[in-house]
Amino acid sequence: MSALLRPKPFLEPQYCKGCLRCIEACPRHCITPGTTLNSATGLVPVELHLENCNGCSLCLQACPEPYGLRLETDRPGPEGDFVLEDPAKLFGEKCVPNHSEGDLPDDRIPLPACEPMVLKGTYAAAIGALLAGCRHVFGYPITPSTEGAELMARILPKLNGSFVQAVSEVAAVNMMYGAGGAGLPCMTFTSSPGFSLMLEGISYMIGAEVPGVFVNIMRGGPGLGNIAPEQADIKLACRGLGHGNTRAIILAPSTPQEMLDLTAEAFALSFRYRNPVVILGDGYLGQMTGTVRLPAVMVRPGLPAWAVWGDRAHQHNLISSIALEENDLEAHNEHLNRKYAAIAACEQRVDSHLCRDAEVLVIACNTPARMAKGAVQAARERGVKAGLFRPITLWPFPIDALVEFMSGVSRIVVVEAGPGQLEDELRLALSHAGIAPPPLTHVRRCGGNLPQQSEILAGILGTKEVRS
C-alpha cells in the first residue's frame, strides 16, 4: 500500500497511560510527551502531530493498550460503537464445525447382551469409564491403581482416544482441567499420595466448575505408608479437596461390579453438576477380581454449551476460578453452596441390609462392608438383630436413610480399615441432623489390615474384641 494511502493513527486520550513507548518508535517524530493531565485517568497522554506521519504503524506496535493507538480505519462510528468487520467476509467460512446453541446431548447406544466378565476392580472402573464415553485419561503410575491406567493405555489409542502419562499427578489433574474444560469426559486413576498431589487441581476444577472423574484406590498412610488397603483418604475426600469451599460427590464401591457401575455413574454426575466426582476404592477392591456384568447401554458424549471447545459457537466461553472482586467471589461461593445443597438433597446413596428392625447397626463401606455383611448375618444366626448400613456416597452422607432406621437402634458399630475417618463423617452427619447418636463403638484396623468377620462379630455382640 502506498504510504500516502496508509491509514494514520489516532488516540482517544483516556485510553493512553502515558508510558511514552510510542515516542521512540516513531521514525518521524510525530509523537510528543503530553502536557495536559487527563481528568478521567489522572494520567498524561501523549500528543500526536501527524503532519509528517506516513502511516508506518510502528507506534501501534509499541503501544501496550488495545484501545490506545489505533488506525483511523478502526475509529468508532458516529454512534460511538465499534464497527467490527464480519470475519467470514474477510476470511470466508471456517472449516471448524459449529454446534448450535445449547448443549449437544449425549447419545445412548444400546449394547448387546454379554457374558458376565471376570475383572479386577481397576479394570472394571476403566471399562465403566469407556462405556460412559470417556476417551481421555491422564495419569501417573502409582500402586495399587496402575492397572486401570495400563488398560486404558492399551485400549484408548485403538479408539482414537488419548492416554497420557503425565510428568506428575499435578500435571495429570491439569490435563483433566483442560479436557474437562473443553467439555469432554475425562478421568484419572490414582492412589493416596497421588491424590494428595492432585488436590490443588481439584480445587481449581471445583472453582471453575470443570467435570472429571478421579478413581482413588486408597492405600496405607501417612507419608509413603504402604501399598496395602486402607480407608485413609475419607477425610481428604469429604473434608479436604484442596483449598477453599470445595465439595465433590464421593462414591465408595464395595465390589468390582460397583467399580464399573459407579465409575460410569460418576461421569453422569460430574456433568450434571459440573463438578469433579471421586471414586474411593480400597487397595483390595482395586486388585480384587470378581464377577462384573456389563450395562445395557453405552454413551457417546455430547458437548455442553459452556465448553471452551475452540469453535465459534463456544468462542465467548470462559473456564476460570478467579473472581477478583469480593462480591463476585461471594456470589460464586453462594452459587456453589446452592449446588452442594442440591447434591446433598438428591444424591445420597446407600445400601442397607437387614436394617429395618436392627438394634445393632453396623456402618461400613468399601471392602470392609463385605466382612461386615458376613458378621451381621452371623450375628442374626445368634439371635442378635444386627443390620448393615453401607453408605455408597460418603459425601453427601446418606443421613436421610440413616434417620429412618434409627428409631430402634440401640447401638452403632462403625467398621473401618482405617483410623476412624468414616466415623467422623457419621458423627458430623448426625450432628448436622440434630440427632444424638446412641452408644457408638467401632472396629478398626489399619496399616493394610482389614477388620475380619470374627472381629466385627465380636464388636456387634459387644464381647471383647478378638483378633484371631
Partner 1 sequence: MSAFYDHFSRHSHGEGLKAHSTHYCPGCGHGVAHRDLAAAIDELGIQDRTVLISPVGCAVFAHYYFDVGNSQAAHGRAPAVALGHKLAHPEAIVISYQGDGDLASIGLAETISIAQMGLPLTVIFINNAVYGMTGGQLAPTSLMGQRTTTSPTGRTAAMGQPLRMAELIAQLDGPVYVERVALFSARERVKARKAIKQAITHQIEGRGYSFVEIIAECPTHLKMTPQEAEQWVKTAMEPVYPLGVKKDLTVEPWFKPGAPIFDPEAVLGLSGAEPRRDDEAHDVPPWPAHLPARDIAIKLAGSGGDGAQTAALLLTRAAIAEGYDATNIPSYGPESRGGTSYADVHIAEREVLNPAASEPYVLIAFNAPSLAKFGGTVPAGGLILYDSTVITTPPALPKNRRVIPVPFTRIATDLGRPMVKNVVALGALQAALNLLPEGSVPATLHHVLKDKPALLPLNEAAFAAGRAAVEATLVSA
> According to the binding rule CB under 8 A, does residue 63 interact with partner 1?
yes
Please enumerate in sequence order all residues whose Cβ is within 8 A of that of 42, keeping only pairs 6 or more positions apart, or say none.
none
Which of the residues 20 through 49 are near partner 1 (CB under 8 A)? 20-21, 24-25, 27, 40-41, 43
Torsion of CA 347, 352, 358, 360, to 10 degrees: -90
> According to the binding rule CB under 8 A, does residue 181 interact with partner 1?
yes
- Residue 444's φ and ψ, nearest 5 degrees, are -125, 135
Residue 100 DSSP SS3: coil
Smallest distance, partner 1 to C-beta of residue 269, A: 20
- Residue 290's φ and ψ, nearest 5 degrees, are -155, -175
Q: Name which position in 145, 174, 231, 393 contacts partner 1 (CB under 8 A).
A: 174
The grid cell for 386 is 444386627
Smallest distance, partner 1 to C-beta of residue 340, A: 22
Contact region with partner 1 (CB under 8 A), list: 213-221, 271-279, 339-347, 447-455: 447-455
Q: Write each residue from 104 to 143 as x if it is in contact with partner 1 (CB under 8 A), else as -, in one continuous string.
A: ---x-xxxxxxxxxx--------x--xx-x-xx-x-----
Smallest distance, partner 1 to C-beta of residue 175, A: 4
Closest CB to partner 1 among 284 and 340?
284
Q: Name which position in 7, 55, 141, 178 contacts partner 1 (CB under 8 A).
A: 178
What secondary structure, in 3-state letters, does 169-184 show? HHHHHHHHHHHHHCCC
Residue 328 DSSP SS3: helix
Residue 33 amino acid letter: P
How far is it, in rounded angstroms, from Cα 346 to Cα 331?
23
Strands (E), 180-245: 186-191, 212-218
Closest CB to partner 1 among 175 and 406?
175
Q: Name which position in 8, 10, 15, 235 contacts partner 1 (CB under 8 A).
A: 15
Closest CB to partner 1 among 37 and 96?
96
Smallest distance, partner 1 to C-beta of residue 396, A: 27
> According to the binding rule CB under 8 A, does residue 411 interact with partner 1?
no
Q: Name which position in 50, 58, 268, 440 contacts partner 1 (CB under 8 A).
A: 58
How far is it, in rounded angstroms, from Cα 415 to Cα 234?
13
Closest CB to partner 1 among 20 and 268?
20
> According to the binding rule CB under 8 A, does residue 18 interact with partner 1?
yes
Q: Write each residue from 314 to 353 as x if it is in contact with partner 1 (CB under 8 A), else as -, in one continuous string.
A: xxxxxxxxx-xx----------------------------
> According to the binding rule CB under 8 A, does residue 445 interact with partner 1?
no
Which of the residues 182 through 221 are near partner 1 (CB under 8 A)? 182-184, 186, 200-201, 204, 208
Q: Name which position in 7, 161, 408, 438 contacts partner 1 (CB under 8 A).
A: 161
Smallest distance, partner 1 to C-beta of residue 22, A: 10
Smallest distance, partner 1 to C-beta of residue 160, A: 4
Residue 269 amino acid letter: L
Which of the residues 72 through 101 are near partner 1 (CB under 8 A)? 74, 81-82, 84-85, 87, 90-91, 94-96
How far is it, in rounded angstroms, from Cα 303 to Cα 315?
14
Smallest distance, partner 1 to C-beta of residue 19, A: 3
How far is it, in rounded angstroms, from Cα 226 to Cα 417?
14
Q: Which of 304, 317, 230 is nearest to 273 (CA)?
A: 304
Provide the β-strand partners of residue 163: 137
Which of the residues 255 through 274 are near partner 1 (CB under 8 A)? none
Q: Which of 358, 418, 403, 422 is nearest to 384 (CA)?
A: 358
What secondary structure, in 3-state letters, does 409-451 show? CCEEEEEECCCCHHHHHHHHHHHHCCCCCCCEEEEECCCCCCC
